[in-house]
């Protein structure tokens, strides 16, 4: 049965049971949340998360370049630019926990950095509100990880691409609307391709800027709010563990753990 308001449908899939198709009970458009409401909600959720997020390590990064001095090490240069960006914004070290002891940024880390750059305008305003409650960089690490892993899972090609983890995606749909989420997923696929080609910090920033234009300020705030609400609910721990296993470098390997999530919901776009 097609959902007349969104053009999508929901297929409920359970173990050893036939699929149940139902209209999508979701709004097509984002909810209206004023700036004041957003700030009040973020401060409330930040209080709930204050003692639950892991501390952020602040040690300075030592970026090592391999090869001869005449040979350009693009990956080391990118890691160095990331380090300088962290330093410039007052959060020295591995400020988004993207390196975690590695010498270079992985493909997943490059996408996370591009997303952080895409949301930097809204985040700069957000961190001023929550700074007295929680370390903003500590919360940003959790939010960037949560949102990017969810979008990456949703963007996996058929048939696994629409098999979703309920807690985070339900929160995203509730805030941004189904039609908007579909656009974000399509934009994320393009961002993945751009990040794969990117060799410099500037190229990642450009990819992030293009995704920022897809989101817009309103939807960016709603994405951040949705992810913070999901984290504050306390039901995302197993979700993120499953996501981290799912998002292996090899997309074929990445698909297999999705089949272990039963019951599950498949959204057909």
Q: If you write DSSP's letter for every residue of 200-253 in order, what string do you get?
A: SHHHHHHHHHHHHHHHHHHHHHHHHHHHHHHHHTT--HHHHHHHHHH--SSHHH
Pairing of strands 9-13, 264-268: antiparallel
pLDDT at 233: 82
Residue ranges in 28-135 assigned as alpha helix (H): 35-49, 74-88, 107-118, 120-130
Residue 132 has pLDDT above 50, yes or no: yes
CA distance 107 to 114: 11
Q: Take residue 19 and report the two structure tokens written for it.
A: 């699929």
In this model, does residue 253 exceed pLDDT 70?
Answer: no
Residue 193 has pLDDT above 70, yes or no: yes
For the chain, give percent helix, strand, coil, nearest 5: 60, 5, 35
What is the mean pLDDT of the segment spanning 241-261?
39
Residue found by looking up tokens 């996501």 in the block: 243
Q: In what order do the strands lie in the sheet with 264-268?
A: 20-23, 9-13, 264-268, 163-164
Which helix (H) or strand (E) segment holds residue 266: the answer is: strand 264-268
pLDDT tens per residue, range 39-83 = 999 999 999 998 888 877 665 555 555 445 556 789 999 999 999
What pTM did the predictor assign?
Answer: 0.76
């Amino acid at each position: 049965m097609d959902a007349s308001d969104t053009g999508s449908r929901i297929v409920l899939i359970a173990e050893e049971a036939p699929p149940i198709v139902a209209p999508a009970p979701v709004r097509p458009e984002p909810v209206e949340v004023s700036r004041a409401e957003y700030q009040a909600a973020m401060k409330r959720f930040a209080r709930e998360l204050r003692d639950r997020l892991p501390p952020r390590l602040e040690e300075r990064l030592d970026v090592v370049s391999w090869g001869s001095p005449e040979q350009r090490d693009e990956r080391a240069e990118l890691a160095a630019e990331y380090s300088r960006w962290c330093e410039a914004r007052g959060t020295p070290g591995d400020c988004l926990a993207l390196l975690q002891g590695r010498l270079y940024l992985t493909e997943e880390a490059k996408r996370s950095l591009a997303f952080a750059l895409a949301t930097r305008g809204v985040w700069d305003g957000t961190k001023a509100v929550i700074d007295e409650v929680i370390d903003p960089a500590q919360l940003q690490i959790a939010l960037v990880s949560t949102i990017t892993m969810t979008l990456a899972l949703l963007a996996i090609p058929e048939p696994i691409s629409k098999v979703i983890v309920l807690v985070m995606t339900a929160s995203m749909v509730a805030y941004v609307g189904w039609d908007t989420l579909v656009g974000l997923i399509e934009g994320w696929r393009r961002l993945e391709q751009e990040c794969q080609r990117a060799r410099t910090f500037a190229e990642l920033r450009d990819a992030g800027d293009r995704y920022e234009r897809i989101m817009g300020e309103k939807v960016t705030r709603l994405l951040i709010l949705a992810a913070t609400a999901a984290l504050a609910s306390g039901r995302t721990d197993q979700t993120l563990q499953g996501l981290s296993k799912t998002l292996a470098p090899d997309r074929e390997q990445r698909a297999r753990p999705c089949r272990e999530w039963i019951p599950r919901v498949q959204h057909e776009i």
